[in-house]
Chain A
Amino acid sequence: MNINLTLIAQAVAFAILIWFTVKYVWPPLLNAIETRQKEIADGLAAASEGRSALEVAAKTSEITLNEAKQKASEIIGQAEKRATQIVDEAKDNAKEEGERILAGAKAEIDQELNRAKEGLRAQVSSLAVAGAEKILRKEIDAKAHSDMLSKLAAEL
């Protein structure tokens, strides 16, 4: 155990090694590690942010989908209502048209009936007169009954 110059030489070597480490070894390692730690922290933050954004988007899409479904069912309901309406209207129109046609036909029939009655009436009087003439020519003096006949003719 003799202390000698080796001690000082070793101390100098130690000082130089420490200086070297402080100056050239430690800072780049520290820098790399701290940068990586920051990058990882940022990455994790971004990931959790993305996850929450995804959740919001999923919720929004669900709401939109529900709205769309609701609107579609509404539209379908309206369309069905409209369709029954159109059918009803068509039915009503058809009924009215039929009734109108029927009424027209009836009126025409009445007219024809009246015209036929008129014609018959005119023919009945002349037939009656002809018949009466034939009867009277045989049995009655034309003079004696001409007044009465003219009166009868006037009554017709």
Chain B
Amino acid sequence: MATEHAEKALTPTEYIQHHLTFNAQGIKGNTDLQGFWTLHVDTFITSVVLGLVVMLLIWSVARKAQSGVPSKAQAFVELVFGFIDDQVKNIFHGNRHAFIAPAALTVFMWVLVMNAMDFLPVDWVAGAASLIGGPHTNWRPVPTSDVNTTFALALSVWILMIFFAIKVKGLGGWIHEIFCSPFGSPSFKAPKSIGGAIGLLASPLLFLANFAFNMIEYVSKPLSHSLRLFGNMYAGEVIFMLIGMLAASSIVGAAAGAIMGAGWAIFHILIVALQAFIFMMMTVVYLSMAHESH
């Protein structure tokens, strides 16, 4: 466990830091960290492998899907399909099969398997990385506890959101909506009273209020979308590390750590599935909101 890579005993801080450091590589020639031009190799490889594995698995079943009596694998995939399709159907009232429902399936399955990496004991992953890449090779196994992943997903959804808003309402309609909803737009009739004249003079403030409100919404959506998932998975990982530290302290600590680790892992099954579900639902809600005009 923690003692595998400790010729000298690790302090708790070093242990935590070791597990929370990405395998970051600069991409300009040498492998030094280069600010933005750095790639978290562990996050990227883990997530891509997981995404490919899960989607190719589903694809291999979908490819041979037939309408007769389904095989067990097909029945399972159809269960997932039906679950996603039902959720999307309740929220989005358009042609969901063209994009939103398959996108929701991708989001759900991918986030679910990435979250599920949290079940692997953190020290085993670190130990395997040390064996392959030499001592002190960092490898964080949970891609969703990297804020880059969750931001990437949330920003992709955000861009899709704007894309669909413009596609459905037109560029003019979208800009009109930004300035004229949710508080409404002033009327430009000739004022009949002094109050009306004041109202007309104050009307640019209404545009400003609408614009500010929409900007806050556009900023807060990807932030809450991504940070909710990131925070949950990051916290889950940290708690596993704390339990790992307890386990490394003594024999009693190891017994307590085993029990607590099992308990947290069981509870974490709920969090993993729930966060994947929430992330998928938020995606569907945001994309279907983009289709509706106010």
B-contacting residues of A (Cβ < 8 Å)? 1-11, 13-15, 17-18, 20-22, 24-33, 35-36, 39
**B74 CB contacts on chain A under 8 angstroms:** 32
B39 pairs with A9, CB closer than 8 A: yes
Bound complex: CA of A3 vs CA of B70, how far in Å? 45
The stretch from B4-12, B143-151, B166-174 touching chain A is B143-151
A5 pairs with B27, CB closer than 8 A: yes
Cβ-closest 9 pairs across A and B: A10-B152, A35-B67, A26-B102, A32-B65, A6-B148, A11-B152, A36-B67, A6-B40, A4-B38
**B27 CB contacts on chain A under 8 angstroms:** 5
**CB of B51 within 8 A of chain A?**
yes
| B 103-118 contacts with A by CB, 8 A | 103, 105-106, 110
**A26 CB contacts on chain B under 8 angstroms:** 62, 97, 101-102, 105
Determine the residue in chain B with the shortest Cβ distance to A39. Answer: B67
What sequence of 0s and 1s flags, for each residue 37-48 of chain B, a beta carbon within 8 Å of any chain A beta carbon?
111100110011
**CB of B280 within 8 A of chain A?**
no
B81 pairs with A11, CB closer than 8 A: no
Using known A-B contacts A11-B156, A28-B65, A33-B81, determine if residue A3 contacts B103 with beta carbons closer than 8 Å: no
Determine the residue in chain A with the shortest Cβ distance to B152. Answer: A10
A7 pairs with B155, CB closer than 8 A: yes
What sequence of 0s and 1s flags, for each residue 197-223 of chain B, a beta carbon within 8 Å of any chain A beta carbon?
000000000000000000000000000
Size category of the B interface is: 35 or more
Query: Which of A2, A35, A39 has the largest count of B CB atoms less than 10 A from its CB?
Result: A2
A25 pairs with B62, CB closer than 8 A: yes
Determine the residue in chain B with the shortest Cβ distance to A1. Answer: B147
**A11 CB contacts on chain B under 8 angstroms:** 152-153, 155-156
Inter-chain pairs besides A10-B143, A33-B81, 11 sampled, C-beta below 8 Å: A4-B36, A4-B39, A6-B44, A9-B39, A10-B43, A11-B156, A14-B110, A22-B99, A30-B81, A33-B78, A36-B70
**CB of B68 within 8 A of chain A?**
yes
B67 pairs with A32, CB closer than 8 A: yes
Bound complex: CA of A1 vs CA of B150, how far in Å? 11
Shortest distance from the beta carbon of A29 to any chain B beta carbon, whole Å: 5
Other-chain contact of A17, B24, B37, B70, B110 (Cβ < 8 Å): B110
Shortest distance from the beta carbon of A10 to any chain B beta carbon, whole Å: 3
**CB of B59 within 8 A of chain A?**
yes
Query: Which of A15, A32, A39 has the largest count of B CB atoms less than 10 A from its CB?
Result: A32
B51 pairs with A17, CB closer than 8 A: yes
**B153 CB contacts on chain A under 8 angstroms:** 10-11, 14
